[in-house]
Structure 1
Amino acid sequence: MAQLKGAAQLRKYLADPDKIVVCPGVHDGLTARMALNVGFDALYMTGAGTAASRLGQPDLGLTTVDDMATNAGMIAGLDRNVPVIADADTGFGGPLMVARTTEKYILQGVAAFHIEDQVTTKRCGHLRGKELVDVNTYCARIRAAAAARKEMGSDIMIIARTDSLQSLGYEEAVRRLKAAVEAGADVAFLEGMTTKEDMANVVKDMAPTPCFLNMVSGGVTPLVNADEAKRMGYKIVIWPLAGMTAVYLGMRDFCRELKSTGEIKERYTEDGKIDGGVGDCFELCGLSKCGEFDQMVGGTSFAKGA
């Protein structure tokens, strides 16, 4: 099987000692298009955002592998040169199911995904009351993903996430991550850290394995900017709620305006143009490129414009 362009690019980023990958969380085509337009090196498909946008449900393990893989594939397909890192929850079952999940993510063009050690009925890593599987079950998930990757001839990256810090403490969390790396994971992800001390220490304790940092607004982990994360030694930092929070705030305000006034007033840029109109949205999603492609191959559907 041909190697994934996104995975190869992500591996190059991680091999660069001066590089830190900062990913905005995206959950649909529009939020992904905006992040690509701004010029991010990589994107993160959030599981919480996928649950909220596709199902209108909280992040409580309600999404299926098809919900997640299909959404990740759509996002990855917008630009194959930009790596997409995707949430894969617990792998959605036992080792056989984890292997199937891995195959689906590979076929969808995902560059990397993370698998955690919660029970199948999982919850957001920044909620209370998380339940865990034992370390052997966790490592079986990682080995299943690694075996499926090898069988597919893929270079997709496996990120091992542990949610054990909350209930089992730091030392056990690091032990689990080291066991996961031995089982075939490429990157370590300690979720739910509550102090900068733990944030800095896990990078040192997991070296030379690259570490992954999750920045959740309103969550339990102290927020740091990219420069501080880089000084700590992190290689990947995600802001998973970027898209979801923007939609939440924007849609809330527009709906309140429409409900209270009966209209939504147009917004304008500094140079007097309508900001965020239908033309802007369509152009962001590739309107001109579609027309150019149609004409290039001899089509006439857009000869008079669109």
Structure 2
Amino acid sequence: MNGSHTNGSSVSHDQMSRPMSAASRLRAMLSRPDQITACPGVYDGLTARIAIAQGFPCIYMTGAGTAASKLGMPDLGLVTMNDMLANAAMIASLDRTIPLIADADTGYGGPPMVSRTVKGYISAGIAGMHIEDQVLMKRCGHLGGKEIVGREEYYSRIRAAVMAREEERSTTGGDIVIIARTDALQSFGFDEAVERLKACIEIGADVAFLEGVTSKEDAKKFTSLFEGTPCLLNNVPGGATPDMTVEEARKLGYRLIIYPGLALNAVMLSVTAAYKELHEKGSVHVSDDQLKAGVKRMFNVVGLQECIAFDAKAGGTSYSKGV
């Protein structure tokens, strides 16, 4: 019998040599109970490229950052599924070997809409997504006054997401890690939040995400109740959750930690300072290092050399005289 023979239980050579999908890479990271993956928050192509260049194995697209950068608006449920999907698809395309976890808010509607969202995210090559139990006009999880839907409505969102994933698995082979997020802690307390997440895991979600945990003691209690299930910690300095290092979160039992506002805050502070200097002084101080690097430093971060090499390999001559 030669290697080209196939039957119902065998795998073809093409399937065996096919690279791991982004979702498979993320699942492999989550399968290690004693390790944690830190995901910096990104919101556009530049911040994603910077994170990738730093060597992070996984990145996170923030919904708040998408609202701020694409709409110039706050995280108050104003972004649509199309806004989020377009941004996430672009970011995921930059490096298919780096899994992207993307905010999917409430799923953007009832079960059929949640299904559409999940299938869109899968088609875009997004590795993981989280869906929450706020009302459609949601808000940032670290703001006050959140409104939460009833259990059954939330469960229907997660069930729809799991059903959509199963349909994609059976028809296209697509996959995505489903992260169940609850914001119920603020309004209904710890026990209700845990009950919701336990039910979501039973439905088929892969990761438990308790938003707004307010102490390290509750964080440890939470992960202990979900032993065997990967748990995600959202690190938002100045928010409801105590600031923790990656190692502290690992010791508490988390397997994922996201930093959604990291780039947003850095950019807001540094750009505000630069614009203020220009407005008040009529000039901006430029260091010798900046002058020496020139504009190519930024272009190299976003793939200038790769574009030049690709053009030459394909027989192009656009950059043969240099740039």
Same fold (TM over 0.5): yes
d(CA) in 2 for partners of 1:124, 1:72:
18
d(CA) in 2 for partners of 1:24, 1:183:
29
Mark the runs of 5 or more structure 1 residues left unpaired by the alignment.
Answer: none
d(CA) in 2 for partners of 1:298, 1:275:
31
Q: Is the 8 A contact 1:4 1:111 kept in 2?
A: no
Q: Is the 8 A contact 1:44 1:86 kept in 2?
A: yes
Letter in 1 for 2:311: D
Output the TM-score relative to the length of structure 1: 0.96
Letter in 2 for 1:122: K
d(CA) in 2 for partners of 1:267, 1:65:
42
Mark the runs of 5 or more structure 2 residues left unpaired by the alignment.
Answer: 1-14
Shift of 1:265: 1.9
Shift of 1:92: 0.3
Shift of 1:276: 6.6
Aligned counterpart for 1:127 among listed residues 143, 147, 166? 143
d(CA) in 2 for partners of 1:276, 1:159:
41
Deviations 1:127-175 (A, max 9, x none): 0010011111101000101111111112210000000000100000000
- Which structure has the larger Rg over C-alpha atoms? 2
Aligned counterpart for 1:23 among listed residues 25, 32, 39? 39
Shift of 1:3: 8.9
Structure-2 change in CA distance of 1:14 and 1:214 (3 Å): same
1:293 is aligned to 2:310: yes
Structure-2 change in CA distance of 1:277 and 1:245 (3 Å): farther
d(CA) in 1 for partners of 2:105, 2:282:
42
Residue 8 of structure 2 corresponds to: none
Structure-2 change in CA distance of 1:266 and 1:70 (3 Å): same
Residue 319 of structure 2 corresponds to: 302
Letter in 2 for 1:191: E
Residue 24 of structure 2 corresponds to: 8
d(CA) in 1 for partners of 2:203, 2:163:
10
Residue 201 of structure 1 corresponds to: 221
Shift of 1:277: 3.7
Give the number of equivalent residue pairs.
303
1:224 is aligned to 2:244: yes
d(CA) in 2 for partners of 1:283, 1:268:
19
Residue 41 of structure 1 corresponds to: 57
Q: Is the 8 A contact 1:149 1:155 kept in 2?
A: yes
Shift of 1:278: 1.5
Q: Is the 8 A contact 2:33 2:228 kept in 1?
A: no
d(CA) in 1 for partners of 2:292, 2:127:
33
Deviations 1:172-223 (A, max 9, x none): 0000000111111000000011111111111011121110000001101001
Residue 136 of structure 1 corresponds to: 152
Aligned counterpart for 2:285 among listed residues 236, 241, 265? 265
